A = this chain, B = another copy of it.
Amino acid sequence: MANEFALESIEVSSSPRERFVEYLQSRGKRVTQQRLQIVDRIFERHDHFDADELIASLGQVDAKISRATVYRTLDELVDAGLLKAMTLTGRRVYEHDYGYPQHDHLHCKKCDQLIEFASDELVALRDAVARKNGFRVTGHRLIISGICADCQKKQNRAKSPLDLI
C-alpha cells in the first residue's frame, strides 16, 4: 500500500510531531515515548498505510509498541487532524492529512495502489448537490476504482505472446 505522493505539500509552520504535542497538551494528555515514536515513524516515510504495516515498521526501529497502543494512537492522530482514515478492503487505511491539500483517489484493483488527485470542480459539484438537498457537508470521499497504467501494461505484456498461439 506504500505509494509516493502525487501532490505538493502545503507549507506548514510546525512539524507533525510538534502539532501532536500541542494537541496532547491542550487536552491534558501525556506526551509519551510511544506516542512520539508513532508520529515520527508515520510522518517520516508512510503515506498510505494500515495498522499492521505501521506495527511492522515500528518493530524494526523502535522498542516494540503494543498493538492496542498503536490503534489508540492512530485514533488520536485522526482526532488531532494529522491523519485521515478510510476503509478500503475491509481494513482501515490512513494517510497524512496535515500538510497536504484535500484530494481523492484512484484505486487499482490489481496492485492495490492509491493514486491521488485534486479537483476543485469536484468540490464545487459536491457543494452544489448538497445545497440542493439541504445537506450540511462535512466532507466527502471519492474512490475511482479500476486498473492503473502499470498493471495494464503488465497485463498486456503477459497476454500478447499467448494471444498469438
Contact = CB atoms under 8 A, between A and B. Distances in A.
A119 B125 contact: yes
**Which among A108, A129, A145, A147 has the greatest number of chain B C-beta atoms within 10 A?**
A129
Interface of A: 87, 90, 106, 108-109, 115, 117, 119, 121-122, 125-126, 129-130, 132-149, 152
Contacts of A145: 137-141
B135 A144 contact: yes
Contacts of A144: 126, 129-130, 135, 137, 139-140
A146 B148 CA distance: 31
B125 A109 contact: no
A17 to B, nearest CB: 28
